Structure 1
Amino acid sequence: MDPPQAIQSVAVIGAGPSGLAVARRLLEAGLSVTVFERRAELGGTFVNLSSHHSPGRPLRFYEEAPESGLSRVDLSQTGPLRYGGGQEYINFPSPCYQSLKTNLITPIMSLGDFAHPEGTRLFVPHHHILDYLHIFAREFGITPQVRCSTSVVNLSKLANNCWTVTVEPTGAVEELLVDRISSHYAATEEFNAVVVCNGHYDVPRMPSTPGLDAWTSRWQTSVMHSRYYRDNKPFASKTVLVVGSGVSAFDLGKEVALAAKKVIQAKRSRPADDGREADEKLIEEFTRSTLPENMIQVAEISRFGCTDGITSMADAEVALMDGTSLSGVDFVLLCTGYRYSAPFLRDNSSTGRGETNKTDILSNLISADGSEMRNLHQDIFFIPDPTLAFAGVPQYITTFRIFDFQALAIAAVFGRKATLPTRVEMQAAFARRMATRSSPVTLNFLGSTKELSYIRSIADWINAPEILSAAKAIEKLAQYTKRHAVEICKSRLMEGREHTNEADLLAFERLLDRKMAILSRELSKLQAQGAFGVEIAMERV
C-alpha cells in the first residue's frame, strides 16, 4: 500500500530522542524535514528545567486548554505561572529531575550507529545524554531543521491529501500564551506526511483511588505527581507516601528516603502476566531486598480517608487493600505513570478547507483512559492513513535503538523503498494483537523477548540492507543483558550503603543464575526460528 502521492515534505513533532532519530533517517532518504519543538531546547525528556521547581503542584488539570491545544495543563497553580501585559503564560516542564541517571546502559542508549564517546560509563547523568543528543543533531544536519519554542496546536488532513500543521510560538523560557481569543500568533504550513514523536512522559496518569480528590483539594501543595519532582529538599524530615509499583516509584522513593524521616511505598500486586519479562521481574524482586532502612513497602491503597473535620494530612488515614491502614503521612508522591496524548489532534472548528474529522482520528488512536495507542501498524503507521506515523510508542524497550529502527522503517516507507500491507491486512493484524494482548493496558508493551520478535517482523517485512543491519545490531545487544542486570543490581545494592552483607551477595548470585537461564531459553527459541543467525555471546561477568 503506497501513499496516495509521493512524499517530499515531512513534519516531525518533537525534538527528543525519537524525533531526532526520525529526522536523521528522513534527511538521509532525501526528504525535506521540519522538526517542531515546543521547548526552548532540543532533547525532550532530558532537558532539565530546574528553575521551574515548585514544592507542590495541584492535581486539577485541564484535559486540553481550548485555545492552545495543550494536554492536561495545570492552570490553577501559581509556581511557574507568569503574568505580564494582561496575559497568562505557562511553561512546559520536563519530568527530568536533578539527580536523574540512566537506568539503561549507554550502548543501548545510542541512536543507531552513533556511539557515545569512548570511555563513557555504563550509567550516566541526564546532562550527558542531552549533550549526546545535541552532538547527534549537529552531526547529521538536524539542528538547522529544528524550530524550538514552537508548539504544534492543530493537525488536520486536507482534501488535497496534505497535512496542515498549525503552530504557535511559545516564547522564551518555555512560555505559552494561553489566553488567546484571536489566532493571529499562529502560522500554518502544509506537509505530505507527519511523524509524531512527542513521547509518553508528559501527561500524568492520575489514580482513581477513592478519596484522592478530596485530599488534593484539602492539601494541594502536599500532593505531587513524579512528573514535577526535582529534588528531595521538600521532603526533609517528613513521612512521605510514595504511590506506585514501577521503576520511578522505587528510584524516587530511595532518593526521597535520603532526606525524609520515613518513606512508605504503596504498591499494587502485579498480575502474573503484566507485559514485563521474567528477568525484569527478577530484578525487581532483588531490589526489594535493598530498600533503605527508613523505607518500607505496603499493600495497594484502597481509599484515602475522609477529610471532614481534619485540618492536617498527618491526622488523616489511608486504607490499604490488605485491611490495614496508615496515618501520619505528611506528603504524597504519585509515581503512577503517564498517559498517551496527542492534543493537537483534538477537534477544533473547521477552517472550511476540507479538513478531515480530527475527532475520528483521536478516538481511533488513543484509548479513552490514555493507556493504549491503537490502530497503528507495527506501533508506527496509523492504519486509516499511514501518512501519519508515530515513533517511540512501545514501552519496555531498548529505547534509543528501537527509535532508530522505527525511523529506518518510516524512511523506507515514506521514501517508497518499502510498501505497507493493504489496509485490510493491517486491520486484520491489529485485530489479532488486540485479541491476544494479556490485559487492556499491555497492547504497547514489548519487553526484551517480544522486542526481538518485533524487530524481526519489521526486518522480514522491509528486508532492506540498512534495516537488517540495524536489526542485527539490536539483537547483538543481547550480549549486554547480563552485564546490564549486574550493573543495575550492583548500583542499587551499593546506593546509600557502606558495605554489603553475605545474604545480599547470595541473593545477587541467585538472581543472575535464574536470569541467565531464562534469557538462554528465550534466545535459543529465537535462534531456532532463524533470527538472523546471530550468535549471542553469553560470557561470564
Structure 2
Amino acid sequence: MKRSPVKSVAIIGAGASGAAAAAALAAEDYFDRIRVFERRETPGGTWWVLARSQLPPPLRDLGTHTYSVSNVRIYDPDPGPGPKLTPGADPPETDPPLKIPDGPLPRTTAPSTQERFDRTPIYDTLTTNVPDIAMCFSDCRFPYGPFPPHWVPRHYIESYFSLHRADGLLALSTTLEDLSRIPGSQRWKLTLRRRDSVRHVDMWWEEEFDAVILANGHYSVPFVPKVDGLEEYIRLFPGRVSHSKAFRNALPYHNKKVVVVGNSASGHDVAAALVGAVKGPVYQSRRSRNRFEGDKPPPEVEWKPIIKAFLRSGDILFADGSVLSDVDSVIYCTGYKASFPFWNERANGGSIWDYTQNRLVGSYWHTFFRDFPTLGAIGVPRVLTFRSFEYQAIALARLFAGRNALPLPSRQEQIRWEQERWKLVSSEHRKFHDIIWDNGETMDWLRGLYDFAGLPTLKGHGRFPPVLSDETRWAIEHLRKYEEPGKDDVEEGDWTVVDSRTGRDSLFFI
C-alpha cells in the first residue's frame, strides 16, 4: 500500500477531542512530528455536561440546590468581569482574529489585551450527568462513577495524555492565531502566540505541518439574541445583563430581583440555583416548555413569555404585555456559537463555518473536508461525547497515515451527502450537526467511521475503533442524574433509572 505523504500533524486543542487525536496519531507509529497546541496552561478541554451540584454552606442553609449545565474545563473561580455582550452578533464580530505583528517572525510584542473567551463557565461544584461507561474513553474508565465530580474528568484528560505517552506532544499556553494553507500544496502554516508571564510579553512564531486536526471545541463564545432596546439597556445599566458563562453560584444575586432568559438546560439549572437566594420568585423567560418541566413552574419560580423589549426606564416588556420593574439582574442562558478566529478566509478561499445554517462548510461525515484533504475536525456534533471522539480520531489518524480500510467517497458524493443532510435536518427542525441516538442515526454514523478506519496492523500499530457494548448502550438509554416529569423512573441512590421508550432522543442532555 502506498503510504501517505503526511508526516507531521498539528492538533488544535488539548481537551477530550485533542487527547483522543493525540492517542490515535501516536499509536499509528508513522508520523515524524505531532504537536498539540493548547491555549490554557494545562490540558482539560471542553465538554458539554449536565450536572447536579452541591452548593457551598451559605446557600445550603437557604435550602437551595442546583442542577447545573457547564462547559467543564479548567476551573476559573473568578469569571472576571464577563465578556462584552453584543446582542445578535456572531463570533466573526465578537471574536475577531488577532492582528499578526508586522515584520518577520519570530518576534515579541506587548501582551494582547483583546478578549479571547478563554475563561471557563464551570459552576462551583459539579458532577457529570453522563454515565461514566458512555462518557469516558473506551480503554480507561473514570476513577469512580457513574457521575464523578467535574475535577475528575479534567484530571482524567491530563492523565490520558500520559497514559498514551502523548504528554510530550503538548505545547501549552500557546494560542493558534492564524491557520493558512500554503499556496500550491495541501500543507498548512500556523502562526502561534505564547504569553511569557515572566517577561510580560507575547512571543510570536510560525510552524508548518502536513495536516491539521481542529479539536478546539465550540462552547467558548457566548451568544445573546437581538432584542428591541437591549443594546441601549446594556449601556444604560452596566453590569445588569450577563451571560450564564459568568455564573458561578447564587451568592452575587442574594436578595436581588433576577430574570433568567432561556429554559434549555442552562436556563433551567441557573433558575434552580437561584431559588431561595433571590428576592421574590426567580422570573424565567421562556419560549416554550422543555422536557425538564412539568405542567406548572416549581416553587419560587415564575414563568414569563419571551421578552419583547427592554425599556429606557429599566423596565422589561414581555410578549404578553406584562411589565417587570426594578430588575437587578438579567442572566442570558442562550448558549454559545462556534468560533474559528484563526481561520484565514483569504488564504483558504472562504469561511469554515456558516453562521446562517450553523454548520461547518464543506464537511463530510462531520469529520472530513472535501476541499481540504489534510484537514479534519473532532467534537463538533452533538452526540456521544468522549467515545465518539475516539471514532473520529482513529478515522483521521488512519486517513493521514494512508491506511484507511475504505476510501473517502468522491467529491460529488460528499457534496450530495452535505446537501441531503441539510435537507433532512431542515425538514426535522434540528441542527446540522445534531446526531440522534434513538432513530439509529448515531450507530450508523459511528459504524461509518468504524468501517472507514479498519483494524490496527498485525504488528499492533494503530488503535482499535471502540465497540459499543450492550452495557454501554443500556446506560445511554436508561441512566440519568435526575428524573424527567412524566417518565417512569426508579431512584437508585444518587441517580435514576428511566424508561427510555417514551423518549425521542436519549442523548438530549449532551
Question: Quick one: which of 158, 161, 164 aligns to 1:134?
Answer: 158
Q: Which residue of 2 aligns with 1:354?
A: none
Does the C-alpha gap of structure 1 residues 470 and 489 become closer, same or farther in structure 2, counting only changes over 3 Å?
Answer: farther
TM-score by length of 1: 0.75
Contact preservation (8 Å) 2:218, 2:338:
yes
Q: Give structure 1 stretches of 5+ with no counterpart.
A: 70-83, 178-184, 271-280, 349-356, 491-503, 524-541
Higher strand share: 2
Q: Which residue of 2 aligns with 1:214?
A: 232
1:220 Cα offset (Å): 2.7
The alignment partner of 1:481 has SS state of helix
Contact preservation (8 Å) 1:58, 1:223:
no
Contact preservation (8 Å) 1:44, 1:94:
no
Q: Which residue of 2 aligns with 1:494?
A: none
Q: Which residue of 2 aligns with 1:402?
A: 388
Residues matched between the structures, number: 448
Q: Does 1:152 align with 2:173?
A: no
1:475 Cα offset (Å): 6.5
Q: Does 1:266 align with 2:285?
A: yes
1:244 & 1:508 partners in 2: Cα distance?
A: 26
Q: Which residue of 2 aligns with 1:164?
A: 189
Q: Does 1:411 align with 2:397?
A: yes
Q: Which residue of 2 aligns with 1:423?
A: 411
Contact preservation (8 Å) 1:13, 1:198:
yes
Q: Which residue of 1 aligns with 2:501?
A: 517
Question: Quick one: which of 411, 421, 445 aligns to 1:454?
Answer: 445
Does the C-alpha gap of structure 1 residues 437 and 370 become closer, same or farther in structure 2, counting only changes over 3 Å?
Answer: closer
What letter matches 2:94 in structure 1?
E
The alignment partner of 2:180 has SS state of strand
Higher helix share: 1
1:507 & 1:15 partners in 2: Cα distance?
A: 38
TM-score by length of 2: 0.79
Q: Which residue of 1 aligns with 2:303?
A: 297
Does the C-alpha gap of structure 1 residues 438 and 269 become closer, same or farther in structure 2, counting only changes over 3 Å?
Answer: farther
Q: Which residue of 1 aligns with 2:98?
A: 67
Root mean square deviation of aligned Cα = 3.3
Question: Quick one: which of 217, 229, 254 aligns to 2:247?
Answer: 229
> Per-residue displacement from partner, 1:346-401 (whole Å, max 9, x unpaired)?
347xxxxxxxx33x341xx2113472223211101111112111000101x22111
Q: Does 1:489 align with 2:495?
A: no
Q: Give structure 2 stretches of 5+ with no counterpart.
A: 47-71, 101-108
The alignment partner of 1:128 has SS state of helix
Counterparts of 1:117-516 in structure 2, within 5 Å, are 117=143, 120-158=144-182, 159-172=184-197, 185-261=203-279, 262-269=281-288, 282=291, 284-285=292-293, 292-304=298-310, 306-307=311-312, 310=313, 313=314, 316-320=315-319, 322-347=320-345, 357-358=347-348, 360-362=349-351, 365-369=352-356, 371-395=358-382, 397-418=383-404, 419-438=407-426, 442-449=431-438, 450-464=441-455, 470=465, 472-473=467-468, 476-485=471-480, 487-489=481-483, 508-509=488-489, 515-516=499-500
2:159 & 2:401 partners in 1: Cα distance?
A: 26
Instruction: Determine what percentage of the aligned residue pairs are the same residue.
Output: 27
1:298 & 1:176 partners in 2: Cα distance?
A: 49
What letter matches 2:288 in structure 1?
S
Q: Which residue of 2 aligns with 1:34?
A: 35
1:297 & 1:205 partners in 2: Cα distance?
A: 22
Q: Does 1:10 align with 2:9?
A: yes
Contact preservation (8 Å) 1:372, 1:441:
no
What letter matches 1:341 in structure 2?
S
Does the C-alpha gap of structure 1 residues 213 and 89 become closer, same or farther in structure 2, counting only changes over 3 Å?
Answer: closer
The alignment partner of 2:260 has SS state of strand
1:302 Cα offset (Å): 2.5
> Per-residue displacement from partner, 1:151-203 (whole Å, max 9, x unpaired)?
00000111233111110103449x985xxxxxxx3111111100011101111
